[in-house]
Structure 1
Amino acid sequence: MPAVTTPGSYFTRTGPRTFRPTEHVSGGWNTAEQHVAPGMGLLAHAIEADRDARRDDGLVVGRLGYDILGTLPMDEVEVAVQVLRPGRTIELVEATLSHGGRAVVRLRAWLLQRHDTRALAGSPVEPLDPPSHPRWEAWHPSEVWPGGFIATAELRRGPHTPGAGAYWVRTPVALIEGEPVSRLAEVAGLVDIANGMVARVEPEEALYPNIDLTAHLVREPAPGWLGLDTRVTFGPGGLGLTTSTLHDEQGPLGVVSQVLTVRPR
């Protein structure tokens, strides 16, 4: 069972590599299991902490590629990190989230050398209207989804249709109790929420969990609200895809995709 802790964090550290989930981590498909989103943030934090312990040149994360190998009970988890492809300017690093010796979530991240490309920066993607714009209305996803994680999300959602829409999200809950983490780790702990915020069908009609999540980034996210412009597609043979363009209040910053297994109830 989750630890009884002061509200305000998703995990409490129990050792150098172990963490216990709080009540804020319980999932939307099954409240006896962890929602995978906070664990994704935990793995991103572990990769950054490992990088900073090994080197001081601040390689920047360009891709986060998660594979979800199973489900996690509301119990202590362990994190391990290894460098798969070391390099002076490019690295591939893997982090694994395990329970009871069983790997459940695996992250492979590409880390790239920083360069000053401000003179070249730009995108054809239009920025979202800021969170203060009247097009956004407060929406509580707990009206649709159970679980402690969803209950921590504050959303402002715009006009939408089944499977298409844009929204801003933030959470007051810290990733790890009493420990600072980067904005990237905070964002990594939120983006999995995309699969369900403008769903094609209600969860009573079908199961459609994602089995992976890949985020490609063009810059580090800014503090504040995280914006997502999301599209959900179901194919005819049990496959689905959720794709989202990521934004902050400075503009677009990357894309996220999630492969779904679609199972009618």
Structure 2
Amino acid sequence: MPYFRRTDATTFEPTAQVGGAWNTAEQHVAPTFGLLAHLVEADRVARGRDDLVVTRLSYDIWGTYPLATMTTAVRVLRPGRGVELVEAEMTCGGRRSVTLRAWLAAPADSSGVAAGAPAAVPGPLDVSAWDPTTDWPGGFVASIEVRRSLAEPGRGTVWVRTDVPLLDDEEVSPLARTAGLLDVANGMSVRADPRKVAFPNLDLGAHLHRQPDGDWLGLDTSVTFGAGGAGLTSAVLHDTTGAFGSLAQSLVVRPLS
């Protein structure tokens, strides 16, 4: 069973695999992130701009949304020969739910000056398996394989992958598959028990210095809770060949009592 089934050119139906972690009657946002990245790439190809690659994914989450029909739209905000800014949006239940703005750029040979990537972290086979359902409910969390090494609460290295396809009978790129896992950064190296503290993220921004490859996503993660109800999850992104980018998520931190 996939995360989504396409019902026409712009609408999709979620499956039980998308069930949320904070509320199982709602959707987990992670697969939506992958779907919108896929739609940006499909639109790029349809417009004859497959000479461009995605270098930034910036998601805003407008609110929670149910396990119901999703309607999508893609538009080019800033066309250009060498760079483009493209927006993809998803509405659900009659409300805007998630917006993606992606920068795309033409590749160039910069191998002669390539440097500065963070050091590689221990690979997935060097990290112990961990069951994320010990902390989180929901269909999405149950669908992922996780390997984790925690240095302390809120600080650790996590590897994650899934064998669940994003869509039925529709090929997606390694980037879209990776984008569909990025949001787990905020839940796999928790600083506090989510049964005692709520810390949902409002957004996610990922910046890439190269395209990811393979099934595994590595997250070298740090979680910070401020004293005024805000927090930040940040992570260096890895595949099995090394670092390929970084992400940040703005958190709303609310002790539950």
User: TM-score per shorter chain, which class?
Assistant: over 0.9
Asked whether the 8 Å contact 1:211–1:260 carries over to 2, the reply is: yes
CA RMSD of aligned residues (A): 1.0
Equivalent positions of 1:96-245 (< 5 A) are 96-133=89-126, 136-245=127-236
Equivalent residue in structure 1 for 2:24, among 26, 31, 40:
31
Equivalent residue in structure 2 for 1:95, among 79, 88, 100:
88
Equivalent position SS for 1:24: helix
Equivalent position SS for 1:192: helix
Greater mean alpha carbon deviation, residues 122-131 or residues 35-44? 122-131
Q: 1:52: which partner in 2?
A: 45
**Unpaired segments of 5 or more residues in structure 1?**
1-6
Q: Partner letter of residue 239 of structure 1?
A: A
Whole-angstrom distance in 1 between the partners of 2:10 and 2:117: 42
| Per-residue deviation, 1:159 | 3.6
Greater mean alpha carbon deviation, residues 151-160 or residues 14-23? 151-160
CA spacing shift, 1:184–1:124, aligned 2, 3 Å = closer
| Per-residue deviation, 1:55 | 1.7
Equivalent position SS for 2:234: strand
Question: Per-residue displacement from partner, 1:205-260 (whole Å, max 9, x unpaired)?
Answer: 11110000000001110112110000000001100000000000110000010000
Whole-angstrom distance in 2 between the partners of 1:76 and 1:121: 44
Equivalent position SS for 1:187: helix
Whole-angstrom distance in 2 between the partners of 1:250 and 1:119: 19
**Unpaired segments of 5 or more residues in structure 2?**
none
Equivalent position SS for 2:39: helix
Greater mean alpha carbon deviation, residues 113-122 or residues 91-100? 113-122
Q: Percent identity?
A: 54
Whole-angstrom distance in 1 between the partners of 2:149 and 2:47: 43
Q: Partner letter of residue 201 of structure 2?
A: N
